Structure 1
């Protein structure tokens, strides 16, 4: 270069990056020259023809690189004026900032809710996942996936895979007395998901939704989120007091097989009265059949839906309570008049179960593994219930122990729920006060006792601790 001559873009050496990829290499070399101010703002880039001869690349390669620099704001291309470097380099706007070196902190899990922990005495409504045959489940998922083509994995079945819905309908016909077909079944992620879909579809602000008192709190909250007025209907020895259901209500939510939390079964006369009310009031009944598979004394009554000749009952079930909580597969059996509107809501929310879980569950049902699991878990839970009842004082009052995953322990006179639960927590017991589930009714003090997610050794040890608390109360 001659003395005093300004550096030219033609003096840019041929970059080594061209050997790896000519277009990308040319772009990176020119971009680096601009950012390093080797090509200062306002300077003119050489023509693509001259630079192509110097760098031994095609002119088309450099045209593509120039166009990319122009699209990203590094250069301006004006006909008759050539290509010039922009006055302001917009690097801070298009390049991600370089991450500074920082010490990574370990992830701290969120503390679990006391109402959903397993293996904690005596948290209620939890199955024992250790009873579940994981190897059988893995085989079912594998067989289910291998048996279908890619079309099943690509298709959107908003109501759920047809094969799973058919197996669920067959199970309900055989074991719950329902007269239903696969096209009446909609797959959900659980009962709460079903209640949310029902609330979004059926309830408008100002509608009345009736719930049991005491009862399942999430149902009340989900209906309230839809803007409904919640009317609490008291529960007596025969279940929901159907005489207090208003004719202006839009729906009534019930747990007829094992009332949550008191544990009684809705009597046949009350079931017929409830269905008569629904037909007369043009209302809907939501049946939550959350733990009906576990009846330890006699065969359970058929589902309320089995008596539903007017097609007013929405039946909700779940596999999370009888297989394992993390499965997140449930279902609804819906009246024909509601199917289309419920599916529209489901499609809009986009909240559906993955195909692999549905395929595995369909194979689990088809192979008979589900019924075998129910038989084994029912025997295990009955043994645990009996062991816990044997630990309690003979004069201790309990109810709802004939079925389900929990029972109610009524406290001695003069003992408050809050004080008893605090003393229980001090010795490692987690108890839920019955008053937590009440809205307007006032019941004697009691606590909810869950036993199904505990081993026999845990039950015997903590059962003695609970007995000592009762004696000292």
Structure 2
């Protein structure tokens, strides 16, 4: 055996975690042996050849671990002398603690809102990022930045890039029936950001904010944080019950295209009554148009804002609901009377969208790629919805399936939401009870079924499991 390559007399045990991650496991075991003085300062490590035989891993794996230890200063590798532990080890790594250390607190992972997650049946009520053309997006980002030049990286545009606001206004005129101009658009990081700005700007302690019941929980929480009293307004088959709106309210938040979570469309008569209430009460209406692009049976109604002759509606939209969740870009179409105050709040809070995403969206919208993506994703989501409904076989009542990213599944008589969700979890299904969306409303038991960020294979497999669970209920 060549000089300096003899195995160490110390028989290092094979690490327990070596099978899961060989290189990391080898590195961690050797580093631990050094820091615990199992391998003393100046001592020689076993050769990679002998240690590979002992630990039953490849020599290349150990070479990588040795090189990492060398780069971090734990060992020296000298030709002809092998690999030796460095003489100097930071003292804080070797000193024994003077008192017993408290056990580490378990880390509680952050919970996404209402448990919404991609590829998890059935809380996948979000866009499927795999349908998004990343190559096209990369080209749009590059072209967008190059077209606007370095000035966009220096200039401040609190309301958003003028080019993007113009493209958004053009899209809304063509597809949502809004007669708006670029100067009415404010770019946000999403609908929640818009609601936060609205709450901070329009509400003060003691004001009344009306919300749908059942409805979108973050809207209730954001309005409450501003000090507002929350007035829950019941939802009927025609949408928000406008007869229940108090004239003393400061604003009303609605989801007219596809009510969140029940899924009905606010009727035309209710829309007109809502606008009449806003004008009479000098209140504001916040229209959350979160998934209006996805209507599977017919063309959607034009936005509520399109009927707004008194300029009392704040229209909110978001690109992360139809492109990909990580794209934090949304927008508001703001009544002229509110624009200065909302912009002041936006500048004060400092939330703004990066120039790269904005300039990329300018190209994505202007090239027609956005509309093409909507068309393709709408077809994919409709196919997924149809496959899931086929699994359920028409035996169970659903509602809201005509549009959007989810529908409501009403449970059989006598079945309670918590019990059903617990039994679903046991077979790998994550379900959202309808009750979590309610404030005062008392509705029959139901669960929310999100399907758009699932593959067809997932839908068919887990859809059959869901149907079997329902049959056994």
Query: Which category describes the TM-score, using the shorter chain as reference length?
Result: 0.7 to 0.9
SS of the counterpart of 1:234?
strand
Matches within 5 A, 1:235-250: 235-250=235-250
Match of 1:162 in 2: 162
Instruction: Provide the aligned length of Structure 1 versus Structure 2.
Output: 374
Whether 1:127 and 2:127 are equivalent positions in the alignment is: yes
Match of 1:367 in 2: 367
Match of 1:36 in 2: none
Q: CA–CA distance in 2 between the matches of 1:102 and 1:223?
A: 53
Q: CA–CA distance in 1 between the matches of 2:230 and 2:157?
A: 33
Q: CA–CA distance in 1 between the matches of 2:91 and 2:288?
A: 51
Is the contact made by 1:410 and 1:445 (CA closer than 8 Å) also made in structure 2? yes
Q: CA–CA distance in 2 between the matches of 1:310 and 1:396?
A: 43
- Deviation per residue, 1:233-264 (Å, 9 max, x gap): 00000000000000000000000000000000
SS of the counterpart of 2:408?
strand
Match of 2:28 in 1: none
Is the contact made by 2:294 and 2:405 (CA closer than 8 Å) also made in structure 1? yes
Structure 1 residue 268: deviation in Å? 0.2
Whether 1:293 and 2:260 are equivalent positions in the alignment is: no
Match of 2:351 in 1: 351
Q: Which runs of 5+ in 2 are unaligned?
A: 1-89, 96-103
Whether 1:461 and 2:461 are equivalent positions in the alignment is: yes
Q: CA–CA distance in 1 between the matches of 2:92 and 2:134?
A: 44
Structure 1 residue 153: deviation in Å? 1.1
Whether 1:409 and 2:412 are equivalent positions in the alignment is: no
Whether 1:312 and 2:316 are equivalent positions in the alignment is: no
SS of the counterpart of 2:269?
helix
Match of 2:432 in 1: 432
Structure 1 residue 148: deviation in Å? 1.7
Q: CA–CA distance in 2 between the matches of 1:102 and 1:292?
A: 61
Match of 1:326 in 2: 326
Structure 1 pair 109–131 and aligned structure 2 pair: CA distance change class (3 A):
farther
Q: CA–CA distance in 2 between the matches of 1:398 and 1:228?
A: 34
Structure 1 pair 471–354 and aligned structure 2 pair: CA distance change class (3 A):
same
Taking structure 2 as the reference length, the TM-score comes to 0.77
SS of the counterpart of 1:327?
coil
- Deviation per residue, 1:39-74 (Å, 9 max, x gap): xxxxxxxxxxxxxxxxxxxxxxxxxxxxxxxxxxxx
Q: Which runs of 5+ in 1 are unaligned?
A: 1-97
Match of 1:211 in 2: 211
Is the contact made by 1:212 and 1:235 (CA closer than 8 Å) also made in structure 2? yes
Is the contact made by 1:286 and 1:315 (CA closer than 8 Å) also made in structure 2? yes
Structure 1 residue 419: deviation in Å? 0.3
Q: CA–CA distance in 2 between the matches of 1:287 and 1:400?
A: 18
Match of 1:32 in 2: none
Structure 1 residue 110: deviation in Å? 3.5
Match of 2:228 in 1: 228
Is the contact made by 2:117 and 2:125 (CA closer than 8 Å) also made in structure 1? no
Structure 1 pair 109–178 and aligned structure 2 pair: CA distance change class (3 A):
same
SS of the counterpart of 1:336?
coil
Structure 1 residue 151: deviation in Å? 1.4
Structure 1 pair 197–186 and aligned structure 2 pair: CA distance change class (3 A):
same
Is the contact made by 1:125 and 1:321 (CA closer than 8 Å) also made in structure 2? no
SS of the counterpart of 1:328?
coil
Match of 1:263 in 2: 263
Task: Give the structure with higher Rg (CA).
Answer: 1
Structure 1 residue 393: deviation in Å? 3.5
User: Could you list the runs of 4 or more consecutive aligned residues of structure 1 that deviate by over 3 angstroms after TM superposition?
Assistant: 98-103, 108-114
Matches within 5 A, 1:376-455: 376-455=376-455
Structure 1 residue 390: deviation in Å? 0.3
CA RMSD of aligned residues (A): 1.7
Structure 1 residue 298: deviation in Å? 0.2
Structure 1 residue 449: deviation in Å? 0.2
Structure 1 residue 99: deviation in Å? 9.1
Is the contact made by 1:127 and 1:321 (CA closer than 8 Å) also made in structure 2? yes
Is the contact made by 1:127 and 1:323 (CA closer than 8 Å) also made in structure 2? yes
Q: CA–CA distance in 2 between the matches of 1:101 and 1:336?
A: 63
Q: CA–CA distance in 1 between the matches of 2:460 and 2:278?
A: 46
Q: CA–CA distance in 1 between the matches of 2:284 and 2:416?
A: 38
Q: CA–CA distance in 1 between the matches of 2:268 and 2:359?
A: 37
Q: CA–CA distance in 1 between the matches of 2:227 and 2:208?
A: 9
Q: CA–CA distance in 2 between the matches of 1:122 and 1:368?
A: 32
Q: CA–CA distance in 1 between the matches of 2:109 and 2:155?
A: 35
Structure 1 residue 376: deviation in Å? 0.1
Structure 1 residue 402: deviation in Å? 0.1
Is the contact made by 1:123 and 1:430 (CA closer than 8 Å) also made in structure 2? yes
Match of 1:471 in 2: 471
Match of 2:144 in 1: 144
Is the contact made by 2:118 and 2:125 (CA closer than 8 Å) also made in structure 1? no
Q: CA–CA distance in 2 between the matches of 1:389 and 1:438?
A: 25
